Amino acid sequence: MPTAIANDAIRPIANGDLFSVPGLSGAAVKTGVKESGDLDLALIVADEPMNVAAMFTKNAMAAAPVQLCREILKKTRQIKGIVVNSGNANALTGKRGAKDAQRMLDETEAAIDGKALVLSTGIIGVPLPIEKVTAGIKQASQQLQPTCEDVAEAMLTTDTIRKTVAFEVDVDGQTYHVGGVAKGSGMIHPNMATMLTVVATDAPLTQDAMQPLLRRAVDGSFHRISVDGDTSTNDAVVLMAKPAQAGDELSAEGIALIESAIGRACRELAQSIVCDAEGSTRVMDIEVIGAATIEDAERITESVATSSLVKTALTGANPNWGRIISAAGNAGVMLSPEDVTLELEGQTVFEKGEVTAAEQGRLDEAFGQDRVKIRLTVGTGPVTRHMLASDLSKRYVEINSEYTT
């Protein structure tokens, strides 16, 4: 995913997070759902109701909280808060799970005196310890603070680092803010897997503008990353914004700037997720060039990004580039070797069907970097597509075979 063109109007806020956006407060508590005793419940509350847009997992086995949020958003496009619990996904939990999600919602709405959304992440197929969760919601609602670094912590499961981002944006002569927080580590794939993200802005946006804006931001970020090709039952991205009212609407240029900042926030959070992928030792930055159609480009990038053989070659810093072209050939797209050129970190290893005389020492070095650029030309078509993907290490296997996550 390309970094947006530098723009002085959009300035990163050092150590900023969701709470860099004025008008929000948060709290995080330990409910005991996580056996480790770590923080596992976060509450995010707005001073005034905010407009909301959201995108959820495409997994047919969507968890109870996802199903509940979809119902909520059919009835309202404004919310005052979000509750997030980690350690238990409340997924595949049947009728009891639906009731538990509703109880989380009711408890939250009572505590914050306004509409809310419910997000859950963690183990699948285990009933939620709902009494611990509702007690946690009560406790959190009494501890709300205008900034709360622990919210980012309480959302994590197998993640090893907090994922936050914030920008100041000069728009129409005023300074607004965009801030975000995410969790995500394993089970990450286009269509947003095992990840939760909340992005907020104090810039005024209309409800109608928000859903397409969020879709574009997600398409350029969370849909361009892959960890293990799985997508989960609980993935969600929520965007909250100050409701635009007569008199404070942004100009078209202003909306474009805010969209740019939200897109950049999503890209940075998505990158944090890949870089924190379970057991990841390095990341590949795949660029497919010259595809005939968007669908072809997607299939080829995803085939390379999800190939176990490419991922393990990356883990071993082993420039076994034949696997990359074989993975592309395996995408179900009509390709001819004669149209294919492959560059690794700027070194051409295969050009229009022929092996080139790339220097092995330089290739080994290229493949040993933390982030390896793979540039694959597949024809003369008009479509280019980027994707970031993690490698596949023994540690990934260890995390996912030895622990129940």
Contact positions with its own copies (CB under 8 A) in 30-69: 58-62
- Kindly tell me which of 222 and 350 has the beta carbon lying closer to its own copies: 350
Determine contact, residues 359/319, Cβ cutoff 8 Å.
no
Nearest approach in angstroms of CB 347 to its own copies is 14
Work out whether 207 is an interface residue with its own copies (CB under 8 A). no
Q: If DSSP codes are grouped into helix, strand and coil, which group holds residue 187?
A: coil
Q: Indicate the residue type of 41.
A: L
Nearest approach in angstroms of CB 354 to its own copies is 4
Determine contact, residues 203/166, Cβ cutoff 8 Å.
no
Segment near its own copies (CB under 8 A); pick from 18-26, 40-48, 169-177, 231-239 = 231-239
Work out whether 175 is an interface residue with its own copies (CB under 8 A). no
What region does 244 belong to: left with phi over 0, alpha with psi -120 to 50, or beta? beta
Among residues 282, 279, 310, the alpha carbon closest in space to that of 376 is found at 310
- The answer for residues whose C-beta is within 8 angstroms of residue 127's C-beta and 6 or more apart is 93, 96, 97, 100
Give the number of residues in contact with its own copies, rule: CB under 8 A. 70
Among 147, 206, 320, 369, binds its own copies (CB under 8 A): 320
Segment near its own copies (CB under 8 A); pick from 46-54, 76-84, 249-257, 309-317 = 309-317
Structure tokens at 381: 């078509």
Determine contact, residues 209/255, Cβ cutoff 8 Å.
yes
The string of DSSP codes covering 13-69 is PTT--GGGSTTEEEEEE--S-STT----EEEEEEEEEEEEEEEE---TT--HHHHHH
Among residues 368, 177, 166, 403, the alpha carbon closest in space to that of 272 is found at 166
Distance from C-alpha of 219 to C-alpha of 266, rounded to nearest angstrom: 10
Among 244, 325, 387, 388, binds its own copies (CB under 8 A): 325
- Kindly tell me which of 207 and 330 has the beta carbon lying closer to its own copies: 330
Nearest approach in angstroms of CB 88 to its own copies is 11
Distance from C-alpha of 385 to C-alpha of 298, rounded to nearest angstrom: 7
- Kindly tell me which of 17 and 228 has the beta carbon lying closer to its own copies: 228
Residue 91 per-residue DSSP state: -
Marked catalytic residue, from 31, 108, 164, 194: 194
Among 232, 280, 341, 347, binds its own copies (CB under 8 A): 232
- Kindly tell me which of 93 and 164 has the beta carbon lying closer to its own copies: 93
- Known active-site residue 158: no
Q: Which residues bind its own copies (CB under 8 A)?
A: 58-62, 89, 91-96, 123-127, 186-187, 228-233, 306-309, 312-316, 318, 320-323, 325-337, 340, 349-350, 353-355, 392-394, 396-398, 400-405
Give the active site residues.
194
